């Protein structure tokens, strides 16, 4: 298989055989020989040598490069790295090639620009159409702990701190989406990923991060501190939509303006409920304490708050000032609006439990 055939083969493997945009991503990431090696996977360096005629020692070196860059994946022990395969899906390839400390948002602007062109014009529109067919939302919003800590009888699955403390190994890497949008000057409105990484990895994914030096292994205490900053910034906690405390490999801390799930859903004009389930909670606003600042509206990512003119109750005149009001059907119970209100010392927004424990499906 020559270089041209190799690039074409890899494009077909990930579902975009005719995409010039995706080919540009591959050509930027891999030399022609590296593409030939990747196309000859799965196998060991010796297996690939027999298929390509290249030197096994050179192949092993190139496989190490492709491993670090997120294009080749070792089977079994990440430390031994003998048998490799190519990416299983576009999502895996997207995240692993971009969410890594070996890249820099300024130095690698060209690479991120190529990715941005491909995802916005081809992959995201296709993802949106695929999302329409999702039978059940695979992920669930977990409310910011500091917005619900006053409530009684919280489940461990409701408490992101408890989820973090249940993990044996934790790593943090740059968010692939937020790194890319930063690099192409479409900066996130909520967090500066170049200043603080927010994508949290667990278990085997944390092992992967450690082996290829794509991020940092962090302690539980460091993860809990990161959680405080994430909640202050108003990012969204995501977890698998079941009651399992472990087994999840990645927890994104998402935002509507960058997310590889939310943007395709918006493009396809489908509700995010196709992909994300609500938490067990809902925001509520005490109108008498609301000063109408609209900070909560700016913070909300679900279009769940509107400004209304309060009506008179029991003969008392209504306020002339517009007040914030929750649109219950739209509220996902993320809790980020609570922080917006607390920042100006108003405390007009609180969270309440509106769904039973059974709302969270049983373990997978």
The DSSP annotation for 61-126 comes to HHHHHHHHTTSEEESS-TTT--SEEE-SSHHHHHHHHHS-TT--TTTTHHHHHHHHHHIIIIIHHH
The pLDDT of residue 123: 98
pLDDT digits (tens, 9 = 90+) for 161-192: 999 999 999 999 999 999 999 999 999 999 99
Given a cut of 60, is residue 313 above it in pLDDT? Answer: no
Distance CA 205, CA 338 (A): 32
pLDDT digits (tens, 9 = 90+) for 271-304: 999 999 999 999 999 988 999 999 999 999 999 9
> What domains appear along the chain, each with residue ranges and CATH number?
3-88 (1.10.10), 126-277 (no CATH), 281-359 (3.30.70.20)
The pLDDT of residue 112: 98
The pLDDT of residue 364: 61
Whole-number percent of the chain with pLDDT over 70: 97
Q: Residue 152 burial by CB count (10 A; 0-12/13-18/19+): exposed, middle or buried?
A: exposed
- Per-residue pLDDT band at 319 (split at 50, 70, 90): low
The pLDDT of residue 312: 54
Whole-number mean pLDDT of the chain?
94
Given a cut of 80, is residue 318 above it in pLDDT? Answer: no
pLDDT digits (tens, 9 = 90+) for 187-237: 999 999 999 999 999 999 999 999 999 999 999 999 999 999 999 999 999
- Per-residue pLDDT band at 139 (split at 50, 70, 90): very high
CA atoms within 13 A on the CB side of 150: 8
Please state the pTM of the whole predicted model. Answer: 0.93
Using alpha carbons, select from 15, 22, 262, 256 the residue that is nearest to residue 131. 262
Cα–chain-centroid distance for residue 118?
A: 18
The pLDDT of residue 347: 86
């Amino acid at each position: 298989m020559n270089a041209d055939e190799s690039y074409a083969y890899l494009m077909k493997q990930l579902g975009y055989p005719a995409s010039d945009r995706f080919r540009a991503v591959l050509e930027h990431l891999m030399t022609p020989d590296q593409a030939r090696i990747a196309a000859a996977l799965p196998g060991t360096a010796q297996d690939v040598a027999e298929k390509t005629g290249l030197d096994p020692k050179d192949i092993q070196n190139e496989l190490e490069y492709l491993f670090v860059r997120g294009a080749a994946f070792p089977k079994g022990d990440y430390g031994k790295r003998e048998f490799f395969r190519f990416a299983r899906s576009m999502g895996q390839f997207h995240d692993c090639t971009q969410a890594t400390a070996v890249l820099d948002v300024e130095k690698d602007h060209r690479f991120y620009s190529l990715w941005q062109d491909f995802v916005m014009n081809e992959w995201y529109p296709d993802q949106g159409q695929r999302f329409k067919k999702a039978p059940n939302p695979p992920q669930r919003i977990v409310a910011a702990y500091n917005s619900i800590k006053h409530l009684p009888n919280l489940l461990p699955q409701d408490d992101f701190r408890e989820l973090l403390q249940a993990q044996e190994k934790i790593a943090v890497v740059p968010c692939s989406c937020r790194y890319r949008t930063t690099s192409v000057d479409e900066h996130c409105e909520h967090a500066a990923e170049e200043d603080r990484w927010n994508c949290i990895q667990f278990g085997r994914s944390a092992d992967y991060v450690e082996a290829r030096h794509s991020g940092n292994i962090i302690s539980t205490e460091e993860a809990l501190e990161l959680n405080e900053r994430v909640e202050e910034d108003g990012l969204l906690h995501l977890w698998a939509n079941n009651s399992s405390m472990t087994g999840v490999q990645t927890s994104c801390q998402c935002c509507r303006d960058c997310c590889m799930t939310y943007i395709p859903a918006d493009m396809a004009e489908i509700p995010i409920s196709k992909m994300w389930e609500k938490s067990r909670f809902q925001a509520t606003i005490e109108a008498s304490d609301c000063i109408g600042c609209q900070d909560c509206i700016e913070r909300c990512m679900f279009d769940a708050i509107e400004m209304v003119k309060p009506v008179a109750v029991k003969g008392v005149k209504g306020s002339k000032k517009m007040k914030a009001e929750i649109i219950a059907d739209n509220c996902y119970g993320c809790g980020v609006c609570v922080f917006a209100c607390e920042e100006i010392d108003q405390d007009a927004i609180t969270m309440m439990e509106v769904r039973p424990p059974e709302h969270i499906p049983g373990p997978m």
